[in-house]
Structure 1
Amino acid sequence: MAKGLVSKNKLVLKDNCNIALVYRLETAAAVSLSKKVADHLKERGFQIFTAPEQKLIPGTKSAKTKKQMDTMDLIIVLGGDGTYLRAVRLLEGRSVPILGFNMGSLGFLTAHNADTVFDIIEKTLLGKMILSPRTMIVAKILRKGRQRAEFHALNDVVIERGGMSQLINTAIYSEKFLVSEVKADGFIVASPSGSTAYNLAAGGPILHPESKVFVVTPVAPHSLTSRPLIFPDDRELSFRLEGKTQTAHFIVDGQKMTEITADDEVILTRSHYDHWIVREQNHNYFHLLREKLKFGDRS
């Protein structure tokens, strides 16, 4: 970060810091709130930018280049979890904290209500919020031994058959040791943050956000013995399609990035950099589970 400092899991913003706004696209309420937030922060002396891939917010600067994104000290997200993940993609692995406000339906990552936006922003500027570190996944795709792509994921990486009618046969390795070969619609590799997303819907376990693990969950496996597997996040995981004619979609945080074939090897590791979520000091993860997912609700 340029002028913002992380000290004892607290964010300290100095004068003239750079703050970028990411808002829910094509939503009038989000655009309107973004303008109000920009005006509020400019009055406080901060440099306000509109993040890439969206229409410029009036009165802000455009952060179109990687060099400009390198100077950001804080990202403010106004939208849902999809908007939050778009902000994470724009950071491309940079350790810039994100403060999220929910204007969507679920709001696991954007945990703060949009009605509290100015109160929460004020607490953030006064250093009264905490920074919660979240594990990131780095995915590298090698074709015949040469890297052809690299992606960063906060939630999950998914290998799926897409529009193909047949299952894909995939070999899973941990530290080059064969774990298993499984026929399935696909596989989800989720971080603790992503365990409550697609992984949960596919029958995978909920991981505490501070857990140092990944979970690999098969999607509709053609075997009664194929179950989710939890791995330490300091191990390298790799995946190969078995069968020369097979192709699969490669999806990162809900967005299709490329297609892979039997010539490709997918290697997944924990990123050297954590993602930082800005939270209130009394944030309670278990309350979030009960509120958003009705966890433990017997009615």
Structure 2
Amino acid sequence: MKKIAIFAKVHDPRCVGIAEELIEWLVAKGLSPMVESHLAKHVGSAYSAERQDIQEEADLVVVLGGDGTLISVARLVGDRQVPILGVNLGSLGFLTEITLAEMYPALERCLKGDYEVSGRMMLRVSLHREGEEIEGHQVLNDVVINKGALARIIDLETEVDGRYLSTFKADGLIISTPTGSTGYSLSANGPIVHPQLDCLLMTPICPHTLTNRPIVVAGDALISITLQSVNEDVFLTLDGQVGFELKHGDQICIQRAEHQTRLVQSRSKDYFEVLRTKLKWGER
């Protein structure tokens, strides 16, 4: 590994300060930092790199911040399956599980090739309008279709592998990866699914029919959702970060992406420990 990309929450002074120290550490090691351009402006670094260059050239990505920052980076480098080392600088994250104290030892191991990664499923999402694909994206956590604040319940005709499942009458529908099961899906009473399972989750948001419950389908399933509602404000949101307004008749197709996100694992904690700590299980 020679080219090490760095992303951080630029509005967090602590993240910026740690990024400055990390850049110096990498240079002293004879490595080539690739500092994301917005971060480079905040740290005054000469090693600024555009996102496109990072996407094409980085050997390792270090993310300083929280899960939201890491999720955006995963969408950027997922196609190349570049290892991502997520360093948590706030409350414990589900994805950024490396602590600041662990960062440099973990980096040393990565440089020596002595590290383990957790492969996380990503989703390929395409938006079709009048028979034409107008948007195509990859996501790590979830795809959400939901109504605007003043809109009525929406109708979402849903098929799995070409077979009709149901027309959900609800405030919306969440399709998530196992990684995303601890996100918005969980708040909508979806199940927690271990990230190594090969499956997709479908969780209705406040369904009009109380018997519409979350459903888990095979990881290689093709989910197709057609918006049947007319004259309602409905939106498609990807990982809670990218959004599009939908129109009557729009079709959203969701399936497992070809590549995975590869997260460098902590050696001091496992997934179940993260769950216990984050969700405060066992506390009174």
Q: What band does the TM-score fall into relative to the shorter chain?
A: over 0.9
Cα distance in structure 1, aligned partners of 2:60 and 2:21: 17
Alignment of 1:109-258 (within 5 A): 109-258=95-244
Cα distance in structure 2, aligned partners of 1:143 and 1:39: 49
Q: Normalising to structure 2: TM-score of the pair?
A: 0.94
Q: Give the letter aligned to residue 34 of structure 2.
A: F
Q: Which of the two has greater helix per residue?
A: 2
How far 1:55 moved relative to its partner?
4.1
User: Cα deviation per residue 1:177-209 (whole Å; 9 max; x = unaligned)?
Assistant: 110011111111110111111111110001111
Q: Which runs of 4+ in 1 moved over 6 A?
A: none
1:28 aligns with 2:13: yes
**Which position in structure 1 is the counterpart of 2:56?**
70
Change (3 A) 1:165 1:126: same
Q: Give the letter aligned to residue 32 of structure 1.
A: G
Two-structure CA RMSD over aligned residues (Å) = 1.7
Cα distance in structure 2, aligned partners of 1:72 and 1:298: 42
- Bigger relative contact order, structure 1 or 2, given CA contacts below 8 A and separation 6+? 2
Which of 19, 25, 30 does residue 45 from structure 1 map onto?
A: 30
**Which position in structure 1 is the counterpart of 2:246?**
260
**Which position in structure 2 is the counterpart of 1:108?**
94
Change (3 A) 1:212 1:60: farther
Q: Give the letter aligned to residue 24 of structure 1.
A: K
**Are 2:9 and 2:69, in contact at CA under 8 Å, matched by a contact in 1?**
yes
Q: Give the letter aligned to residue 272 of structure 1.
A: E
How far 1:287 moved relative to its partner?
1.3
How far 1:129 moved relative to its partner?
1.7
Aligned to 1:99, what secondary structure does the other structure show?
Answer: strand
Which of 267, 270, 274 does residue 284 from structure 1 map onto?
A: 270
Cα distance in structure 1, aligned partners of 2:238 and 2:136: 11
Cα distance in structure 2, aligned partners of 1:184 and 1:68: 40
How far 1:298 moved relative to its partner?
6.0
Q: Give the letter aligned to residue 44 of structure 1.
A: K
How far 1:121 moved relative to its partner?
1.7
**Are 1:81 and 1:104, in contact at CA under 8 Å, matched by a contact in 2?**
no
Identity of aligned residues (%): 32
Cα distance in structure 2, aligned partners of 1:53 and 1:259: 28
Q: Normalising to structure 1: TM-score of the pair?
A: 0.89
How far 1:288 moved relative to its partner?
1.3
User: Cα deviation per residue 1:216-246 (whole Å; 9 max; x = unaligned)?
Assistant: 0011111110100101010100111113323
- Any unmatched runs of 5+ in structure 1? 1-12
Q: Give the letter aligned to residue 223 of structure 2.
A: L
Cα distance in structure 2, aligned partners of 1:278 and 1:68: 18
Cα distance in structure 1, aligned partners of 2:172 and 2:161: 21
Cα distance in structure 2, aligned partners of 1:222 and 1:170: 12
Which of 81, 84, 90 does residue 95 from structure 1 map onto?
A: 81
Cα distance in structure 1, aligned partners of 2:269 and 2:256: 25
**Which position in structure 2 is the counterpart of 1:10?**
none
Cα distance in structure 1, aligned partners of 2:177 and 2:199: 7
User: Cα deviation per residue 1:44-89 (whole Å; 9 max; x = unaligned)?
Assistant: 1111011244443434422215245201111100001111112123
Cα distance in structure 2, aligned partners of 1:130 and 1:60: 31
**Are 2:228 and 2:249, in contact at CA under 8 Å, matched by a contact in 1?**
no
- Any unmatched runs of 5+ in structure 2? none
User: Cα deviation per residue 1:85-117 (whole Å; 9 max; x = unaligned)?
Assistant: 121233363311100011122411100112332
